[in-house]
Structure 1
């Protein structure tokens, strides 16, 4: 479990078992060009559909991204545009009938009226210790699955040794004896075909000697015993993460500069760089400006090193409104996302509007 400080100042403890389960599946889905049977955390619209004349089947939210021509992939945003609070459900896993079809629902019509074929083989819900059915959750999942006897599975994970019950707060993890990558923890991923390279899990939530900017981990249990490779990358591309200071916006030059408390300039982004990075982040993650503004806490919890696809991917664990979001980004976008989060957290109303305009957020999206 890890401490998460929300915007109201309260601290909640989040078990990251859900993230550890979902991240490898999302990573494999991305590596497969979204043509993958297992789809973690698909958001469904539970409201009646006008186009279908009623709730024939809850409809999965889709992204605007079309990775293979005309068919849209599923959305990764747990707060998708058009979603109504209380009428949105996000099962742990949807298993598709065919990996060649991007549509993850059993219904035949999407929210915009587009036609599809039933491609849901099974809904899988995993209940970790302490995770009980919420109000209306089981009924909603049965509606999504349709025939719950053949299309729905509930997996009850038992804490056989009682370890989770005995550890209500994060337990210190000793530093690795060396900086060798083999000191990191293996995160097994079962796929067909097997992933030839290992996927490594890195513990980032222990107290570290280096100072970390508060926005990256507002409880200050952040960067610690990561691998030498990851540490070197972050020190090169995001040196401001390790030095107290603040971002300064310069309207005249359309730049954002990170200045340390001693007045030293550590990093600089131009408006063009931020805009290009944000557009690519949106394309890969479906994040919106509204979600970005509400991020309470973020950390890198898992690193995928040449194990899934050809690129090096970082899995970023984000908490928004007490909801855990899994975001996969290539290394060149990781620092940009961290910078945007930090800029937003410290920006004045005027500076925030300027940043939104600079990265291409429409006036309507800013006002939403």
Structure 2
């Protein structure tokens, strides 16, 4: 049976590498296996249409595994959670001291419980240096009551902490190999890696990645009455009172194969039906809060009224945001995600990734070729899509938007260099 942990020759979905590294801490293997098995049932890769019209293929199993952990950490456990997916670490202290000082997790400015800062959600945090930024798959902490996820005792701003790292976990899906310097960096982050680091080899026991896709017409959006949708394994107390699903586009690679014409467009791209790859529930939400997505057109600055207007191909106004609305939305996005203008302007593609939860929406974005997870309030998805669409309109539009948002431009971009390092 796929996913069984029986030792006598049965297939194991997740298997810890030994003797190089440690076994998982007691009581954690079942939780991680659940996330891995669900991720295996999403598309091995999906073809996406970037804002310049090009088509790329991206492996998204890692994002599918991270999404439920991030939801639980922020929305269900208010950051006081044992499992922390994709924590960004600064390797510079380790390099500068010849391996004496521990790499340091990047922190947000937000203090959800009064005094202690939470970890940053920005995958390209300000201050990161090329070649010195690492994001392990999962950090398991000693005490979920402490927000600090590192083993070092001093943060990047000089604040003091207690060692709170129980285990660094790296998950290797089929076809996922170590990148240059990755294994050595993760050993440095964990410190005593033989006891604090676990590397999991994932086996596709159920053959989910071997199914031969057959091209087919784009189906109608699915509703919550259909039983074949992949649910997101959200664990909380009290339990989430309704099913939460991965959106339909996760399965497009299985349904359509490598048909370029079926590449998933970004949610804001009405011309290429970027809204047609989501469920009926999410589509209805977008119709209500972002009607402009469903009409081909473009954003135009209305300087006389300090607004941005979505104008259709016949010149009719469909929707408008005031500069004040966009600025307030951007500030809320920054507070929730730690996003910077540099990251926003490098988003090539984004889609709603999970059926909208009560109080939370999950988007998956591609930033300079790197897939990242973005958690927002549902009402911010529309603002987020509008910001991306305005930036996609060109350099002049992006500069005007920056002025409206109060963003000070200057200096070069670090995101592209960090993504390539």
Taking the aligned partners of 1:114 and 1:233, their CA distance within structure 2 comes to 42
1:275 maps to which residue? 327
2:202 pairs, out of 157, 180, 183, with: 157
Cα gap change, 1:159 to 1:268, in 2 (>3 Å): same
Tell me by how many angstroms 1:106 deviates: 0.4
Cα gap change, 1:41 to 1:171, in 2 (>3 Å): farther
1:201 maps to which residue? 246
Q: Is the CA contact (8 Å cut-off) linking 1:59 and 1:111 kept in structure 2?
A: yes
Q: Is the CA contact (8 Å cut-off) linking 1:275 and 1:359 kept in structure 2?
A: yes
Work out the number of aligned pairs and report it. 358
2:71 maps to which residue? 27
Taking the aligned partners of 1:131 and 1:170, their CA distance within structure 2 comes to 25
Tell me by how many angstroms 1:223 deviates: 3.1
- Residues 132-171 of structure 1, C-alpha deviation per residue, up to 9 Å, x if partnerless? 011111111011111112211111111235542565x896
Taking the aligned partners of 1:53 and 1:234, their CA distance within structure 2 comes to 52
- Residues 53-85 of structure 1, C-alpha deviation per residue, up to 9 Å, x if partnerless? 964100001111111112111011111000012
Tell me by how many angstroms 1:218 deviates: 9.9
2:362 maps to which residue? 315
Tell me by how many angstroms 1:239 deviates: 1.4
Q: Is the CA contact (8 Å cut-off) linking 1:51 and 1:113 kept in structure 2?
A: no
2:55 maps to which residue? 11
- Residues 219-244 of structure 1, C-alpha deviation per residue, up to 9 Å, x if partnerless? 94743354333221101111121211
1:89 maps to which residue? 134
1:357 aligns with 2:407: no
Taking the aligned partners of 2:185 and 2:287, their CA distance within structure 1 comes to 46
Cα gap change, 1:353 to 1:221, in 2 (>3 Å): closer
Given the two structures, how large is their TM-score scaled by the length of structure 2?
0.77
* Structure 1 unaligned spans of 5+: none
* Structure 2 unaligned spans of 5+: 1-44, 415-421
Tell me by how many angstroms 1:330 deviates: 1.3
- Residues 1-34 of structure 1, C-alpha deviation per residue, up to 9 Å, x if partnerless? 1113457765331122111110111111111221
Taking the aligned partners of 1:342 and 1:109, their CA distance within structure 2 comes to 40
Tell me by how many angstroms 1:189 deviates: 2.9
Q: Is the CA contact (8 Å cut-off) linking 1:45 and 1:60 kept in structure 2?
A: yes
Given the two structures, how large is their TM-score scaled by the length of structure 1?
0.87
1:337 pairs, out of 380, 384, 389, with: 384
1:61 maps to which residue? 106
1:98 pairs, out of 138, 143, 166, with: 143
1:300 maps to which residue? 352
1:119 aligns with 2:164: yes
2:37 maps to which residue? none
- Residues 290-337 of structure 1, C-alpha deviation per residue, up to 9 Å, x if partnerless? 10001111111212433xxxx2x2110000011111011111100000
Q: What is the aligned-residue RMSD (CA, Å)?
A: 3.0
Cα gap change, 1:217 to 1:324, in 2 (>3 Å): farther
